[in-house]
Chain A
Amino acid sequence: MALSTEAATPKSSPSNPLSRMWRDARIRAIILQVLTLVGVIAFFGWLVMNTAYNLSQRNMSAGFGFLDVSAGFGIGFTLVEYQEGDSYLRVFYVGILNTLLVAVVAIFLATVLGLIVGLARLSDNWLIGKIARCYVELLRNTPLLLQIIAWYFGVFNLLPRPKQSIELAEGFVLNNRGFYLPAPVPEAGFNIVLITFAAAVIFAIGLYRWSTVRLDKTGKAFPAISTGLAVIIGAPLAIHLALGAPLGWDIPVLKGFNFTGGTSVPPSFCALIVALSAYTSCFIAEIVRAGIQSVSKGQLEAAGALNLPPNWTLRRVVMPQALRVIIPPLISQYLNVTKNSSLAIAIGFPDLVSVWMNTSLNQSGRAIPIVAMTMAFYCLVSLSVSFVMNYYNKRALLKER
């Protein structure tokens, strides 16, 4: 860019060599940079010295040696096997998995919800548009943390005790201990269903390829997407039923004071997911709306005047252009969800920050390695996301002169 210090060239012949050097922009730039660098290094050196002194005063160390020491505390919700005696490294792993679980579930729900609300915002029905607008304004203008805590303390924690559980459907139970749902138990022969499913997916992909080739060759369209979906769902289901349903469901049942069997998530998880997906859905809704509105009216009129069938207008004209506008901010919303899942700590859900940066840090006192590892994890996630984004942006750039 033209933002250059070189614009200021020496004007008069200076008297002494020092001021001559200062007037030369290139030399000035070098001096400035060296000074900055020295300053920054000195600052960090000072921090390191202070820290080293403070650590030695408190008999603490900054090494990673504690990672294989037994952590000695329990974790309320884990995706993988974990016991109190497991190492700190295992705690880190458990924390990462929990963070990723929250992120993935919330991203899925927020996208679905955001798409619905975004389309509702664009609805030509005045009332639906207004309701969607209220939803968006109300949720995005209040802090996420407040929403999480309100859902937790105001709703999920106040649910009835297990004996008076709310049964949403057979096997789906909600009470103040969490949300219980049936767990699938594969039995003999279920592998065949899985294989059928895989085969159906391959078939559907093939069908889609064939339909595009056929469209090119004959001009006849074939509903490959709907047929493919029907095959993917229908074929495994048919085999499943033919084999006598070789997938059992472990349904949670009330035993004593609590439910056993099935699988469950704690109330904090429910609150986190509901709040996070509702909050993010507002932003996604606005992104979807902006994306669709970015396709100018002229484009739709041209498609109309060309007599393009509506479904093809959507697939070939509207979607490709809207997605270009939607995808970059959408990806950064997904990154935000991952970062915001760290608010889990406020309601005690054991995500990475809660279980690692809080509990482990307090237990072991190894502030520096623990903070560094946490930051490294989030940086890694951001870096990979921005890598994907750069790739997409480069590909999606509109070719102009």
Chain B
Amino acid sequence: MSDTLIFSPKPDRPAPAESVGLIGWLRGNLFKDVPNALMTILGAYIAFVVLSWVLNWAIFNAVWEAESRRECLDMVGRSGACWPGVGVWFENMIYGLYPKDKVWRINLGFAVLIAWMIPLWMPKVQSKVAIGLSAVLIYPFLASYFFLGGDKSILWTALISLSLTVFVWVWATALSETFIGKSVGEVVVDKAGARNADEQRQRLIKRGVALVVFLVAVLLVNEWALEEVRTRVWGGLFLTLVISGIGITFSLPAGILLALGRRSDMPVISMLCTAFIELFRSVPLITILFMFNTMLPLFMPQGVEVDQLLRAIVAVCLFAAAYMAEVIRGGLQAIPKGQFEAAASLGLGYWQTTTQIVLPQALKIMIPTIVGNFIGLFKDTTLVSIIGLFDLMNMARAVGEDTTWLGLFIEPFFAVTMIYFVFCFAMSSYSMRLERKLATGRDR
């Protein structure tokens, strides 16, 4: 037997210059052959023309200070944008005709929402699901009072106080889980010196503390009086966010119920759900909005007035729920049969199987589609302008109907297009990132 030779690999040589680096990249991606090079030149030309036209119009030739559209036209004609009109109307495009001295309430309302959701991005927080759910289910009571104001009934006072209490819990949880590494409840029990007490006593202490916070909140809320702002003056981006926010919040649970109903073995339930879903999916949203706008007053008993915003919201919610139901059904269908059988073999009942095993998986695989649906809903809220609500888009159109800025359409449309784009693109990029993350999770 001969001696073993040691294999020593040859050192890597750098790739030939024409296949890597800048030149290689250019060759591979822009100038592979003559037609490819021609395409590149054509594309560069188109990009140049479009970009230079847009930049010239929007920035270099634009008018930034003027009193009226006439003045703008006298200065640059149509070759440059007339931004002052947009500037004057900008506040309306964001808040609608909401009284200027009360706009802080909208800002505060959204600030609270953001504060509510910040713990979701804090890495050490454990109770993210509960916090997320509370933001969706509990926050709206507080927000509705911020936005609407007016007289509070006892029930509403209680709900607003509950909302405040939960908000306190959210941040207490976030802080204690981040810095102490325990849940709020445990911290409270520790402070009360009852760490070794029995479970019942511990629970009593936790509930007591929650009750105290709640009562303090009730006292505060009772003292707190905000003047009523009618929904008629709501508008702009604010209205768009309210309608789409409610639509998104409502559509997910309603869609889940409808999807489960459609797949149920009970023929009556499944037929009713199918009929609802198919009806709402087969007609355009605008016809549903029209229907609710004209027919809801007919359907209601004498003397019951339904606010126009509410009609639009009901229409949007039902429409969104029908679409969401089909997305969720798609997710449910993708769950392998074995999962159901496994759950049945564990002796789990229908609701346990559904909520603990099937739904989490179905929702997870459908996240990109669900977010896509949210984006669609957000874009579709523009349709409320057709039944006379002044959402972001309709506010932009109103600029061109203002006598001082008569005919100023392109600039405000350009501005709101940017706003819509930022929102939608952010959502879709986030969902794509999530999708990639989930995909790698599956591969492992």
Segment at the B interface, from A70-78, A139-147, A191-199, A296-304: A139-147
Q: In the bound complex, how far is the Cα of B43 from the Cα of A361, in angstroms? A: 50
Residues in A neighbouring B46, C-beta threshold 8 A: 131
Is the C-beta of B185 less than 8 angstroms from some C-beta in chain A? no
Centre residue among B36, B47, B279, B287 by max chain A CB count within 10 A: B287
Q: In the bound complex, how far is the Cα of B340 from the Cα of A7, in angstroms? A: 11
Q: In the bound complex, how far is the Cα of B283 from the Cα of A357, in angstroms? A: 13
Number of B interface residues in the complex (CB < 8 A): 70
Contact status of A150 and B382, CB under 8 A, knowing A2-B341, A131-B46: no
- Interface residue SS majority, chain A: helix
Residues in A neighbouring B298, C-beta threshold 8 A: 50-51, 54-55, 367-368
Is the C-beta of B424 less than 8 angstroms from some C-beta in chain A? yes
Contact status of A379 and B337, CB under 8 A, knowing A128-B39, A142-B417: no
Segment at the B interface, from A164-172, A313-321, A341-349: A341-349
Contact B43 A127 (CB under 8 A): yes
Q: In the bound complex, how far is the Cα of B393 from the Cα of A144, in angstroms? A: 11
Residues in A neighbouring B353, C-beta threshold 8 A: 3, 7
Residue of A nearest to B335 (CB): A1
Contact status of A346 and B385, CB under 8 A, knowing A150-B413, A353-B287: yes
Q: In the bound complex, how far is the Cα of B76 from the Cα of A218, in angstroms? A: 72
Contact status of A1 and B282, CB under 8 A, knowing A29-B265, A142-B420: no
Residue of B nearest to A383 (CB): B282
Residues in B neighbouring A125, C-beta threshold 8 A: 29-30, 32, 36, 39-40, 43
Contact A146 B287 (CB under 8 A): no
How big is chain A's contact interface, by range? 35 or more
Is the C-beta of B197 less than 8 angstroms from some C-beta in chain A? no
**B32, B269, B383, B417: the one within 8 Å of A32 (CB):** B269
Contact B417 A150 (CB under 8 A): yes
Number of contacts between A and B (CB, 8 Å)?
189
Known: A3-B358, A343-B286, A379-B283. 20 other contacts (CB 8 A): A1-B337, A1-B340, A33-B266, A33-B267, A37-B268, A51-B298, A53-B302, A124-B32, A125-B30, A127-B39, A127-B43, A128-B40, A141-B420, A143-B380, A143-B420, A150-B410, A154-B413, A342-B284, A374-B287, A382-B283
A-B contact pairs, 8 of them (CB 8 A): A29-B266, A53-B302, A123-B39, A125-B39, A125-B40, A142-B379, A146-B416, A357-B290
Please name the 4 residue pairs, one residue from A and one from B, whose CB atoms are nearest each other, closest first.
Answer: A382-B282, A2-B340, A126-B29, A141-B424
Binding site for B on A (CB under 8 A): 1-5, 7-8, 29, 32-34, 36-37, 40, 47, 50-51, 53-55, 57, 123-128, 131, 137-138, 140-146, 149-150, 153-154, 158, 339-340, 342-343, 345-346, 353, 357-358, 361, 367-368, 371, 374-375, 378-379, 381-383
Binding site for A on B (CB under 8 A): 28-30, 32, 36, 39-40, 43-44, 46-47, 260, 263-269, 272, 278-279, 281-284, 286-287, 290-291, 294-295, 297-302, 337, 340-341, 344, 348-350, 353-354, 358, 375, 379-380, 382-383, 385-386, 393, 396-397, 400, 407, 409-410, 413, 416-417, 420-421, 424-425, 428
